[in-house]
Amino acid sequence: MREALVAAAFELFLDRGFEQTTIDDIVSLAGVGRRSFFRYFPAKEDVVFPDHERSLAEMTEFLDSGTGEEDPVKHACAAARLVLRMYAEQPSFSVQRYRLTRKVPGLRAYELSVVWRYEHTLAAYLRGRFADRPDGPLRADVIAAAVVSAHNHALRTWLRSGGESDWVAEVDAAMAFVTTTWSDRPADSAPDGEDAADDVVVLVASRRAPLWRMVQGIESALGDTHRV
């Protein structure tokens, strides 16, 4: 039902425009009642961003999964990668949403509020990791803002290409810039003579395990220089 409502909404948004489409129009096309709409979405704007609550929850779980021994800046960057991966899972929908939000000022404002929640979550994690530093709160807020800005730069580059460019390369370059600038730890490197192409990893995981946890397991086995 949720997917049907999103599909109906975007069909109407693209045909009539966001402002000209009502909730009654959406539920009529989807073949459900208004009560069903509000069971899934508090307002019309929320149907444009149906996946961010799940994405934010996954980011929070990922940040909380750290051992406390990992580089906090790299861990925050890895969390941001999850968000871009969410966009990349549905390239056509993501590109349509990007084009729609460029046309509707109200949606751009709504999108900024969503971005702030990601930044707030990253900053809260980093403040905990930098709690023993005199500049901890400042460092946390600045790095969180840098991670979000770098992520958004990579995301917009990919979206402007119509979802055709290499999003992995885009986000890798953006996150490398952040870690090079802010991380206290030197960049990891493979031991001399080690050929990354020869690495073989076998992962055993529950079918119910979230994708990010499986990716985290693979990356942990390969080392921070290898990103999935």
Which of 80-90 are b and which e, b meaning 16 or more Cβ less than 10 Å from the residue's Cβ? Answer: bbbbbbbbbee
What tokens were used for 112? 């900024």
Instruction: Look at residue 83 in the predicted model and tell me its pLDDT.
Output: 92
Q: Which residues of the chain are under the pLDDT cut of 70? A: 186-228
Instruction: Look at residue 1 in the predicted model and tell me its pLDDT.
Output: 87
Q: What is the pLDDT of residues 57-87, one digit of tens each?
A: 999 999 999 888 999 999 999 999 999 999 9
Q: What is the pLDDT of residues 44-59, one digit of tens each?
A: 988 998 888 889 999 9
Q: What is the dihedral of CA 137, 143, 149, 152, to 10 degrees?
A: -110
The residue among 182, 52, 73, 180 whose CA lies nearest residue 125 is: 73
pTM: 0.76
C-alpha distances (whole Å) from 92 to each of 86, 89, 98, 123 are 12, 9, 10, 31
Residue pair 178/153 in contact (Cβ under 8 Å)? The answer is: no
